[in-house]
């Protein structure tokens, strides 16, 4: 972790040069550190519990970014999700990263080089759309591999059909960025007026329209309804989830931004998630999110 005061206006850029290695860093809000807190803790409990039982274990991150983040408010450099996974106490055997941005992918490859030379670790990096690469990654993973996928788009860019293709026939836990307080809140009225929109692809159907129509002006009920719909969709592809399994991520003003949803086909995964979410990133006991 490093700090620097000599940076451009971070409200105006998506990437900035990291003062640590002079490669691009993704500019993020400070709340991203909360998200990465939960990811890091789940990875470590997952790998600690499973590395002796499963010879092949894969980490999948199809919105990887350059591997390093710069916080907009604190101007602090921290590891992004790829490096968090690569630096686990017990690393995965296989990593699958993807991003559309060529410059970002080049930076990520540079940052992954020290890890790829370690015995028993294979790193695959794609410059492709997440929806297109999902089935390609799935084809590279056999049924004897235990997987964790971190689905972290900034909006509703990952279609449910792609999630279905990625997870079909796989032993795969999911941590999903559900942007109820950002992309959905800002755009749902506009999307509702279109015959087809990102929401229809995100939910693989139009049921969300009835939920929105019945809860306009009531964000609490709208949130609950849309989360319930997404959980129902996950159940259709083999995942069960309880309401308390969602973690709410808030900004510095305590405004809800998005939920981290967890899903597993195995009760052990749910046990791991419940254990790591008992203590929030700021050291406080967590409360149910519904």
Average pLDDT over residues 1-25: 76
Which pLDDT belongs to residue 205? Answer: 98
Alpha carbons 108 and 98: distance in angstroms, whole number: 9
Confidence grade of residue 278 (pLDDT, cut at 50, 70, 90): confident
DSSP state of 255: -
Residue 2 has pLDDT above 90, yes or no: no
Which pLDDT belongs to residue 286? Answer: 44
Model confidence over 15-63: pLDDT tens digits? Answer: 999 999 999 999 999 989 999 999 999 999 999 999 999 999 999 999 9
The answer to whether position 94 is within a domain reads yes
| Parallel, antiparallel or unpaired: strands 68-71 and 76-79 | antiparallel
Assigned token pair, 190: 């506009």
Which pLDDT belongs to residue 285? Answer: 38
Model confidence over 132-185: pLDDT tens digits? Answer: 999 999 999 999 999 999 999 989 999 999 999 999 999 999 999 999 989 999
The answer to whether position 228 is within a domain reads no
Which pLDDT belongs to residue 103? Answer: 98
Helix %, strand %, coil % of the chain (to 5): 40, 20, 40
Q: What is the residue-averaged pLDDT of the chain? A: 91
The answer to whether position 215 is within a domain reads no
Q: How far is CA 137 from CA 26, 81, 101, 141, in A?
A: 24, 18, 18, 7
Average pLDDT over residues 199-210: 98
Containing domain of residue 97, as a range?
A: 2-176+238-276
Burial of 117 (0-12, 13-18, 19+ CB in 10 A): exposed
The answer to whether position 212 is within a domain reads no
Find all residues with CB under 8 Å of 112, minimum gap 6, and list them. Answer: 67, 82, 86, 95, 97, 123, 125
The answer to whether position 105 is within a domain reads yes
The answer to whether position 213 is within a domain reads no
CB neighbourhood size of 88 (10 A): 16
Residue 227 has pLDDT above 80, yes or no: yes
Which pLDDT belongs to residue 12? Answer: 62
Which pLDDT belongs to residue 245? Answer: 77
Most distant CA pair in the chain: distance in Å? 55
CATH classification of the domain holding 43:
3.40.50
Q: Where are the beta strands (DSSP E) in 24-67?
A: 24-28, 57-61
Which pLDDT belongs to residue 243? Answer: 63
The answer to whether position 198 is within a domain reads no
Between vectors from CA 152 to CA 26 and to CA 8, what angle results, nearest 5°? 15
Which pLDDT belongs to residue 11? Answer: 64
The answer to whether position 122 is within a domain reads yes
Strand partners, 181: none
Which pLDDT belongs to residue 6? Answer: 57
Burial of 284 (0-12, 13-18, 19+ CB in 10 A): exposed
Q: Could you give the 3-state DSSP secondary structure of residue 4?
A: coil
Average pLDDT over residues 270-275: 92
Confidence grade of residue 284 (pLDDT, cut at 50, 70, 90): very low
Split into its structural domains, the chain has a count of 1
Dihedrals φ, ψ of 79, to 5°?
-70, 140
pTM (2 d.p.): 0.92
């Amino acid at each position: 972790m490093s700090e620097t005061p000599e940076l451009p206006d971070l409200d105006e850029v998506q990437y900035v040069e990291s003062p640590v290695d002079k490669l691009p860093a993704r500019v993020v809000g400070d709340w991203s550190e909360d998200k990465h807190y939960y990811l890091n803790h789940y990875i470590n409990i997952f790998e600690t519990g499973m590395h002796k039982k499963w010879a092949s274990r894969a980490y999948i991150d199809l919105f990887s970014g350059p591997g390093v983040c710069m916080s907009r408010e604190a101007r602090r450099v921290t590891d992004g999700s790829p490096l968090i996974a690569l630096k686990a106490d017990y690393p995965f055997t296989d990593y699958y990263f993807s991003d559309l941005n060529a410059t970002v992918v080049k930076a990520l490859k540079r940052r992954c080089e020290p890890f790829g030379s370690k015995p028993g670790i294979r790193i695959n990096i794609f410059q492709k759309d997440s929806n297109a690469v999902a089935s390609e990654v799935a084809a590279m993973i056999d049924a004897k591999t235990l997987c964790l996928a971190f689905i972290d788009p900034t909006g509703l860019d990952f279609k449910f059909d792609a999630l279905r293709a990625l997870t079909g026939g796989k032993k795969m836990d999911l941590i999903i960025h559900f942007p109820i307080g950002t992309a959905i809140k800002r755009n749902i009225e506009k999307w509702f007026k279109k015959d087809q929109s990102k929401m229809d692809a995100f939910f693989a159907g139009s049921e969300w329209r009835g939920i929105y129509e019945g809860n306009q002006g009531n964000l609490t009920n709208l949130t609950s309804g849309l989360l319930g719909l997404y959980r129902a969709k996950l159940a259709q592809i083999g995942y069960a989830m309880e309401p308390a399994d969602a973690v709410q991520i808030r900004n510095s003003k305590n405004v809800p931004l998005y939920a981290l949803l967890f899903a597993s086909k195995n009760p052990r995964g749910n046990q791991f998630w419940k254990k790591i979410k008992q203590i929030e990133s700021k050291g406080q006991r967590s409360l149910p999110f519904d």
